[in-house]
Amino acid sequence: METPPWRDRIRVEDELLEQLDSQAEQARKRRAEALKEGAEELGSVYALAKQLELSWTAVAKAIKKYTTE
């Protein structure tokens, strides 16, 4: 089977990268919503971060960045 021309391969890979970027962004938003719910359930971002063994600043930044307009 013949390999497609390089221009076509680049175009296909660029389209795939755009799709992956979009999916990753959607996943970040869903994760931030889950983090927000967890913080509400546990009473604070600090308590959530401690349970997840993450820094509270990273959790707070993710929630702020992806759940606020």
* pLDDT on residue 69: 66
Rg (CA), the chain: 19
Full-model pTM: 0.83
Examine residue 39 and state whether it is found in any structural domain, yes or no.
yes
CA distance 69 to 64: 9
The two tokens of residue 13 are 């890979």
Domain coverage including residue 16: 6-67
List pLDDT tens digits, range 19-38: 999 999 999 999 999 999 99
Examine residue 44 and state whether it is found in any structural domain, yes or no.
yes
Low-confidence stretches of the chain (pLDDT < 50) are none
Mean of per-residue pLDDT scores for the chain = 96
CA distance 52 to 59: 10
Examine residue 1 and state whether it is found in any structural domain, yes or no.
no
In the chain, the number of structural domains is 1
